[in-house]
């Protein structure tokens, strides 16, 4: 059963945190009071510039953005595109090793050795054996194919999903775009939103 990962490409959403400044005690000497006021002022400035990347409620902050995991029925690749569109997002394209690592680590922490799969925007439907990220229209700059790589089994596996195996590893696999693969009852849908 394949889930999917969606992404929203937008600017960063920053939240400034203003730290409270404690009241001065009248018992301090004037010099000490100036030093403490200066210290509080510097501390307040540093706190003001302590910004964080904020995720919407229900989303999990990972290295590359905000991820939302839901428990919906399995979907085909086309259905995944539709669901992502309804979320004002796109199916995931994994563009760097770091992004792949962050996603894989989260999947492992969430599922351990349970088998799961997640649709991505990867496809070779336009030109066989030339995979591109459909949402951004560019070829893969990084790959993490399961051994021995995309095999186009039965001659019609044109969509790519992440497979997390019982060994705890996550890799990429080509699959039939209309398939909803059944691995286990604990499959979780995932939407990826990059802020």
123: domain range?
Answer: 60-194
Domain CATH code at residue 176? 3.10.100.10
pLDDT score, position 72: 66
Whether residue 195 has pLDDT greater than 50: no
CA angle (140 as vertex; 7, 108 as ends), nearest 5? 55
Is residue 189 within 8 A of residue 119, CB to CB? The reply is: no
31 inside domain: no
pLDDT digits (tens, 9 = 90+) for 124-168: 998 988 999 998 999 999 999 998 889 998 889 999 998 988 888
pLDDT score, position 170: 92
pLDDT score, position 2: 61
pLDDT score, position 185: 34
Whether residue 23 has pLDDT greater than 90: no
25 inside domain: no
Residue ranges with strand state E in 25-165: 51-53, 59-62, 65-70, 90-91, 116-123, 132-133, 138-139, 159-164
Extract the tokens encoding 36. Answer: 């403490």
48 inside domain: no
Task: Name which of 121, 111, 108 is nearest 71 in CA terms.
Answer: 111
121 inside domain: yes
28 inside domain: no
| Average pLDDT value for the chain | 69
Q: How many domains does the chain have?
A: 1
Extract the tokens encoding 163. Answer: 């497979």
144 inside domain: yes
Q: What number is the average pLDDT over the span 21-46?
A: 37
34 inside domain: no
45 inside domain: no
């Amino acid at each position: 059963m394949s889930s999917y990962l969606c992404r929203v490409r937008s600017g960063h959403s920053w939240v400034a945190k203003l730290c409270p400044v404690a009241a001065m005690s009248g018992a301090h000497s004037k010099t000490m009071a100036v030093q403490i006021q200066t210290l509080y002022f510097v501390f307040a400035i540093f706190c003001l510039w302590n910004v964080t990347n904020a995720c919407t409620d229900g989303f999990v902050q990972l290295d590359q953005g905000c991820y939302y995991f839901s428990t919906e029925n399995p979907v085909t690749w086309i259905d995944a595109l539709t669901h992502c569109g309804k979320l004002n997002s796109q199916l995931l394209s994994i563009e760097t090793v770091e992004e792949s690592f962050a996603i894989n680590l989260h999947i492992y922490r969430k599922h351990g050795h349970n088998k799961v799969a997640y649709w991505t925007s990867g496809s070779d439907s336009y030109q066989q054996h030339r995979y591109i990220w459909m949402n951004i229209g560019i070829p893969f700059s990084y790959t993490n194919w399961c051994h021995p790589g995309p095999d186009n089994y039965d001659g019609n596996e044109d969509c790519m999903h992440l497979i997390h195996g019982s060994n705890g590893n996550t890799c990429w696999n080509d699959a039939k775009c209309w398939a909803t693969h059944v691995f286990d009852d604990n499959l979780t849908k995932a939407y990826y939103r990059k802020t």
